[in-house]
Every structure is written in structure tokens, then in C-alpha cells.
């Protein structure tokens, strides 16, 4: 637990550095583009349009449980874009920036958080688009929307814990980052951002797979956002999933922090 305490303390002590580096990375990424930071919104918006054409209009989905499909999809896919880009970015964060760390005085454990903070600006813009779309179709705030902040915390906690683990393993085993990309492509279809796997297995002998897939931490987050913004369900109504989610986050954080603290003094030796 000392490793966990150390890693978390480093995030709070270096919060100002995290903000400054994340802003620098945002500008550096798009400085040679004519549209600059506007691509943070345009890129996911174009992908959303493609998914809606294929899974919405192409498959003739008008609504799900009385909710327009485009709204239902937006809630899930915006969260997925942030989760996907953060997991991949965090995984490669230490390996890409190890040269900078060797010359500057800040703990290497903040680099995954820096990447997550850089992606968060795009997430905020996409959430503004979602809220505008929801108001346009007559979906307005209610008491359940307060729960959105709980699931936002869940998402950030999961990404932080998973990021510490992934970024360390990626330095030790370079093939891990490529393998992670393949796993995330599969998880895209198993986490529910664009379609309901429950309806596929409902009423079949494979219905047990629904309960298994619902233990996926990413599904828990995405479904939680929908519960908060669209369906009006509280998180304690999913007691087993909630307990399992926080167990997974705890294990990832303990394991990731331990491995990170054990090897970070020798990161340069693995490059």
C-alpha cells in the first residue's frame, strides 16, 4: 500500500506540472495543422458520423427503449473515445517521454496522468455536443444527472490505475502496446458503445454471457453514463457490478503501483 500512497501523492503534488505539460502536448500535437486544436473535435465527430451511418441508418435503428439511437450511441461512444485514446496514450507515455524525464525534476508516474489530461479537453467538447443534442430532442436534466459525476470519477480512477500498469509494462515489454491495441479493438464491440449485446443473447442458451460481459469495467462505465443521463437508474441498483468494478480498480492500482515503483529507477536500462 506504500507504493499506492506514493504514486497517488505524486499526482497531487505535481498537479500544476501535469496541467502545464498537458497543455503543451495539446498545442505541440496540432501546431502544424491549419485547423489546429479544432481537430480534437472534428476527428471524433467524423468517426461518430461514420458509426451512425453504419449502425444507425445502415441497420435502420430509430430508437432504443424509446431513446433516439443517435443520442443513445453518443453517450456510449464519447466515453469510449476518451477511454480508448487514454489507455493507448498512457500505455506509451513513459516510453515516449523517458528522455524528457531524465533531464527534468518530476516523477515519471505523472506521465500517464498527463496524457489523460490532454485527452480530457476533447472529451469536454464532445460532451457539450451531446448535451446540445439531448436538449434538441427534449431530454432535460433531472436528479439522476448528479450521478454522472460518480461515473466520471469511476472512469478517471479506472484509467489512472490501468495507466500506471500499462505504461510500466510497455517499457518492460514493447510488444505489450501492440497487443493492447488489438485487445481494445475487440473490447469496442464487447463494451456496448454502439450496440446492445444483451438483446443478442436474450432468450438463448448463451444468456449467461450477458452477465459475464457486464463485468467488463468499461461496460460498467458506459452503461452507468446511460443510466444517469437517459434511463434514471442509481448505481447501487447494480450492487454486484459496482463491487466487482472497484475490486478490479483496486487490484490494477496495487499491482500497477508496485511494478512501477519496483522498475522505474531502471527504466533507462530497458530502452
Give the predicted TM-score (pTM) of the model.
0.88
pLDDT of amino acid 202 = 59
Q: How many residues are recorded in the chain?
A: 271
**Mean pLDDT highest for which of 43-47, 211-215, 263-267?**
211-215
- Kindly indicate the confidence band of residue 248, based on its pLDDT and cuts at 50, 70 and 90: very high
pLDDT per position as a tens digit, 195-233: 776 666 655 666 667 777 778 899 999 999 999 999 988
**Which 3-state string (H, E, C) describes the chain?**
CHHHHHHHHHHHHCHHHHHHHHHHHHHHHHCCCCCHHHHHHHHHHHHHHHHHHHHHHCCCCCEECCEEHHHHHHHHHHHHHHHHHHHHHHHHHHHHHHHHHHHCCCCHHHHHHHHHHHHHHHHHHHHHHHHHHHHHCCCCCCHHHHHHHHHHHHHHHHHHHHHHHHHHHHHHCCHHHHHHHHHHHHHHHHCCCCCCHHHHHCCCCCCHHHHHHCCCHHHHHHHHHHHHHHHCCCHHHHHHHHHHHHHHHHHHHHHHHHHHHHHHHHHHHHC
Residue 242 in this model has a pLDDT that exceeds 90: yes
Q: What is the mean pLDDT of the chain?
A: 82
Give the integer Cα–Cα distance in Å for 22 and 28.
Answer: 10
pLDDT in tens, 160-176: 999 999 988 888 887 88
Residue 61 banded pLDDT, cuts 50, 70, 90: low
Q: 262 falls in which pLDDT band (50, 70, 90)? A: confident
Tell me the per-residue pLDDT of 122-144, one tens digit each, with 9 for 90 and over: 888 888 888 888 898 888 999 99
pLDDT of residue 219: 93
pLDDT in tens, 16-29: 888 887 777 666 66
pLDDT attached to residue 15: 85
pLDDT in tens, 86-129: 999 888 887 777 666 666 677 888 888 988 988 888 888 888 88
> Which pLDDT does position 204 carry in this prediction?
61
Amino acid at each position: 500500500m506504500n507504493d499506492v500512497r506514493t504514486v497517488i501523492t505524486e499526482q497531487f503534488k505535481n498537479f500544476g506540472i501535469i496541467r502545464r505539460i498537458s497543455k503543451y502536448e495539446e498545442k505541440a500535437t496540432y501546431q502544424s495543422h491549419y485547423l489546429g486544436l479544432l481537430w480534437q473535435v472534428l476527428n471524433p465527430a467524423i468517426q461518430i458520423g461514420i458509426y451512425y451511418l453504419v449502425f444507425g441508418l445502415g441497420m435502420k435503428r430509430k430508437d432504443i427503449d424509446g431513446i433516439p439511437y443517435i443520442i443513445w450511441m453518443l453517450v456510449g461512444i464519447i466515453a469510449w473515445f476518451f477511454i480508448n485514446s487514454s489507455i493507448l496514450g498512457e500505455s506509451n507515455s513513459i516510453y515516449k517521454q523517458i528522455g524528457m524525464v531524465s533531464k527534468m525534476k518530476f516523477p515519471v508516474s505523472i506521465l500517464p496522468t498527463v496524457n489523460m489530461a490532454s485527452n480530457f479537453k476533447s472529451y469536454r467538447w464532445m460532451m457539450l455536443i451531446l448535451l446540445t443534442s439531448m436538449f434538441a430532442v427534449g431530454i432535460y436534466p433531472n436528479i439522476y444527472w448528479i450521478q454522472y459525476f460518480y461515473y466520471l470519477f469511476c472512469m478517471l480512477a479506472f484509467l489512472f490505475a490501468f495507466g500506471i500498469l500499462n505504461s510500466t509494462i510497455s517499457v518492460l515489454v514493447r510488444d505489450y502496446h501492440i497487443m493492447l491495441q488489438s485487445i481494445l479493438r475487440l473490447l469496442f464491440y464487447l463494451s456496448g458503445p454502439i450496440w446492445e449485446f444483451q438483446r443478442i443473447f436474450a432468450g438463448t442458451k448463451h444468456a449467461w454471457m450477458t452477465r459475464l460481459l457486464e463485468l467488463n469495467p468499461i461496460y460498467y462505465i458506459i452503461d452507468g453514463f446511460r443510466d444517469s443521463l437517459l434511463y434514471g437508474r442509481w448505481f447501487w441498483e447494480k450492487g454486484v457490478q459496482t463491487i466487482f468494478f472497484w475490486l478490479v480498480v483496486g487490484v490494477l492500482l496495487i499491482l500497477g503501483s508496485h511494478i512501477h515503483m519496483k522498475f522505474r529507477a531502471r527504466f533507462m536500462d530497458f530502452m
